[in-house]
Amino acid sequence: MKLIVISGQTSSGKSDLAVDLAIELKNACIVSCDSRQVYKKLDLGTGKVEGNWKDGVYKYRQIDHYLIDYINPNENYTLANFLQDWTKLFKNKMPEWIILTGGTGLYSKAVLEEYAIGSIKPSAQIKFDNIKKRLKSMNLELLKRETAKHIDIKNLNESDIKNPRRLQSIILRNISKKEGWTVKLDYPRFDKKYHFAIEVSQKNLRDKIQKRFEKRVSDGMVEEIRNLDISTEKFLSLGLEYRIIKLLLLGMISKERWRNVLINEIWHYAKRQYTWLKKQTEIIWIKNVDQIVGSVKS
């Protein structure tokens, strides 16, 4: 088996490029590494591909997609959950080419670097749950201070620093590792690993973000979010579209302002993604499928 990771900023075209590549390589599947697209009913707001479930597999353009559209939106889903689900995939026969793509850079980084995260040993479960409960009672500032005891928070991106659940996950991961509470994950073995990132003109990307936003709104994104039966706290943890549109629905942001606010927030997020990607090592920057095929088949 060979692993191809495709990274890129929001609206850069990762999903369709991954499918084009899977079709070109033939014996290939796609695995989503997106912390929001795992949830059912979160479709337009996450940019999920318009696939369908068939024989227990999510298919889009006839390509099998995994780790997408299968978690109840009321459930919490963490990096540890993702890595456990990732390793479980390979207990079954998989195709020659595994294409990993999505908007959560931390997930793909964890796969490439084989983060030492695993399930909690039964003997440590009560201690783990007690710490988790204590962390959930902390506000953001307290969580930042607690996180700083374990890692240098200057290395975190802005979205992680502002996300209580991400900080809780980081703290729990570091404590579990230090105390030896985890059962190590059995990562799959790959003959080759490749990491590509899509390079796009930043001016063109801003236009793409605008057009994609308008299409999602016209397709019913606001109605999709209005119909979700989840808590306000959960909405606020699901990212920009869900947070800002929920504020709109609660009357906490005006109908005149919310569109510009959301587009600007998405654009600033895309710029942070680009900065983060540029700091990663061993990435091959590409613009189309042919460049990837040329690299992996050379």
Contact 213, 262 (CB under 8 A): yes
Could you report the per-residue pLDDT of 77-119, keeping only the tens digit for each? 888 889 999 999 999 999 999 999 999 999 999 999 998 776 7
Could you report the per-residue pLDDT of 18-54, keeping only the tens digit for each? 999 999 999 999 999 999 999 999 999 999 999 999 9
Domain with residue 227: its CATH number is 1.10.287
Residues of the chain by 3-state class (helix, strand, coil), percent to 5: 50, 15, 35
Angstrom CA distances, 163 to 17, 158, 260, stand at 29, 9, 22
Q: Are residues 190 and 104 part of one domain?
A: yes
Domain with residue 42: its CATH number is 3.40.50.300
Cα–Cα distance, 72 to 172 (Å, whole number): 23
Which phi and psi angles does 66 have, rounded to 5°? -120, 160
Q: Are residues 149 and 98 part of one domain?
A: no
Q: Are residues 93 and 156 part of one domain?
A: no
Single pTM value for the model: 0.81
Q: Are residues 99 and 24 part of one domain?
A: yes
Per DSSP bridges, beta strands 97-101 and 2-7 are parallel
The boundaries of the domain holding residue 209 are 202-273
Q: Are residues 191 and 50 part of one domain?
A: yes
Q: Are residues 110 and 57 part of one domain?
A: yes
In which element (H, E) is residue 66 found? strand 63-66
Cβ neighbours of 215 (radius 10 Å): 11
Q: Please identify which residue in the block is written with the tokens 């999505």.
A: 102
Number of structural domains found in the chain: 3
Q: Are residues 190 and 287 part of one domain?
A: yes
Q: Please identify which residue in the block is written with the tokens 């003109």.
A: 201
Could you state, in chain order, the average pLDDT of each consecutive group of 10 residues for the chain (298 residues)?
Answer: 96 95 96 96 94 94 97 89 93 96 93 83 90 93 93 81 87 89 88 95 94 95 93 83 92 92 94 91 91 87
Q: Are residues 264 and 139 part of one domain?
A: no
Q: Are residues 174 and 152 part of one domain?
A: yes
Could you give the count of Cα atoms lying within 13 Å of 185 in the half-sphere of its Cβ? 25
Q: Are residues 162 and 207 part of one domain?
A: no
Q: Are residues 269 and 233 part of one domain?
A: yes
Q: Are residues 108 and 189 part of one domain?
A: yes
